[in-house]
């Protein structure tokens, strides 16, 4: 299942999308990846592709990660898709807010490949 | 601005560069900065707002320092100040701001951040969003220097006195 998982990386900074992409390839052998620079583009990809995991930044132009999370959780087709926030917003109130809206996990930037592996391993092992 | 609010930014800077770019950065002595000229070739600036105060963080890299840092982040050598460099400076600024604001929250000061902007060019200007004192902290790495600047409203007078400068 792990190698078949399709991941959507949402971040307005291309360098961060590239770093996450390389970590996913190295840690999980995953190269089935879509990228979006904001929530609006991410929603379009979600609507047209079969996405198994969303890794999403918080602060982005046009549509924030939190708004995207809310939209994803409200849609019957995507409500169960694992949604991990990867963000520099590490304040308690941010984590609580995202948890209330149904986030599956939270990774605070900066992070290492080990941090990513620890958080995503259960998802890649079960495929859900 | 109380000097204790500078420490989270220094610690965050060191942590971000070490974690994401495997770069050891050493902080020099903080000083009051009187002009708007950037201390580098490319700068990231991010606004921060809270209920009781607002402010700005900027991070200005010399060309050599940022080329080495981003090359480490990417795993490939980058030799020009291109869009990838600008992108990286924005993300580094964002991460330093996030880490520092996390610590500031523990100190009772809650700030939210905007999306960072990036400016390039020799002698470019950095306009902080308040008229309060600008505190600059120089950093050195094996491949060059960079400087962070912090400008926070609130208690600006006390900071200026602590650093030994007269209040205007």
Please give the torsion angle defined by the CA atoms of residues B118, B121, B124 and B126, in that order, rounded to the nearest 10 degrees.
10
Of residues B2 and B144, more confidence is placed in B144
Domains and CATH numbers, chain A: 2-126 (3.40.50.2300)
Tens-place pLDDT, residues B40-56: 899 999 999 998 788 99
Distance (Å, rounded) from C-alpha B66 to C-alpha B138?
14
Question: Is residue B47 a part of any domain in this protein?
Answer: yes
Q: What is the mean pLDDT of residues A57-74?
A: 94
Question: Is residue B167 a part of any domain in this protein?
Answer: no
> Could you give the number of structural domains in chain B?
1
Least confident interval from A29-43, B6-20, B145-159: B145-159
Question: Is residue B113 a part of any domain in this protein?
Answer: yes
Question: Is residue B71 a part of any domain in this protein?
Answer: yes
Q: Which two tokens stand for residue B31?
A: 């000083």
> Are B19 and A112 within 8 A, CB to CB?
yes
- Ranges of H-type helices in A29-81: 39-48, 65-74
CATH number for position B99 = 3.40.1550.10
- Residue A40 has phi, psi (to 5 degrees) of -65, -45
Range of the domain at B59: 3-155
> Are A15 and B99 within 8 A, CB to CB?
no
Residues whose CB is less than 8 angstroms from the CB of residue B82 and which lie 6 or more positions away in sequence, other chains included: none
Q: What per-residue confidence (pLDDT) applies to B37?
A: 84
Nearest to B91 among A15, A93, A108 (CB): A15
Question: Is residue B164 a part of any domain in this protein?
Answer: no
Tens-place pLDDT, residues B54-65: 899 999 999 999
Question: Is residue B31 a part of any domain in this protein?
Answer: yes
Please, what's the b/e burial string for B87-122 (b: 16 or more CB within 10 A of its CB; e: otherwise)?
bbbbbbbbbbbbbbbbbbbeeebbbbbeebebbbee
Q: Taking CB atoms and an 8 Å cutoff, what residues of chain B touch A90?
A: 98-99, 101-102
Closest CA to B60 of B144, B166, B157: B144
Distance (Å, rounded) from C-alpha A61 to C-alpha A44?
15
Question: Is residue B64 a part of any domain in this protein?
Answer: yes
Distance (Å, rounded) from C-alpha B33 to C-alpha B16?
24
């Amino acid at each position: 299942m792990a190698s078949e998982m399709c991941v959507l990386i949402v971040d307005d900074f291309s360098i961060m999308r590239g770093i996450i992409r390389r970590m996913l390839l190295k840690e999980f052998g995953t190269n089935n990846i879509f990228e979006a620079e904001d929530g609006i583009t991410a929603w379009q990809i979600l609507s047209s592709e079969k996405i198994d995991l969303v890794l999403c930044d918080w602060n982005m132009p046009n549509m924030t990660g939190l708004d995207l999370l809310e939209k994803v959780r409200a849609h019957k087709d995507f409500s169960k898709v694992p949604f991990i926030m990867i963000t520099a917003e590490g304040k308690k109130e941010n984590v609580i807010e995202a948890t209330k809206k149904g986030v599956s996990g939270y990774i605070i930037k900066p992070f290492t490949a080990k941090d990513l592996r620890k958080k995503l391993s259960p998802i890649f092992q079960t495929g859900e | 601005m109380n000097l204790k609010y500078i420490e989270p930014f220094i610690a965050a800077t060191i942590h971000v560069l070490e974690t994401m770019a495997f770069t050891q950065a050493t902080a020099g002595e903080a000083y009051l900065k009187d002009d708007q000229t950037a201390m580098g070739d490319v700068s990231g600036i991010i606004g921060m707002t809270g209920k009781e105060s607002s402010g700005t963080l900027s991070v200005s890299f010399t060309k050599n320092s940022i080329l080495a840092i981003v090359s480490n982040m990417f795993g490939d050598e980058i030799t020009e100040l291109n869009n990838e460099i600008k992108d990286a400076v924005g993300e580094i600024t964002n991460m330093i701001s996030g880490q520092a604001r996390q610590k500031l929250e523990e100190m009772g000061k809650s700030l939210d951040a905007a999306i960072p902007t990036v400016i390039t060019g020799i002698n470019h200007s950095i306009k902080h969003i308040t008229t309060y004192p600008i505190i600059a902290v120089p950093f050195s790495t094996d491949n060059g220097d960079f400087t962070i600047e912090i400008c926070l409203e609130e208690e600006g007078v006390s900071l200026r006195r602590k650093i030994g400068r007269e209040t205007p």
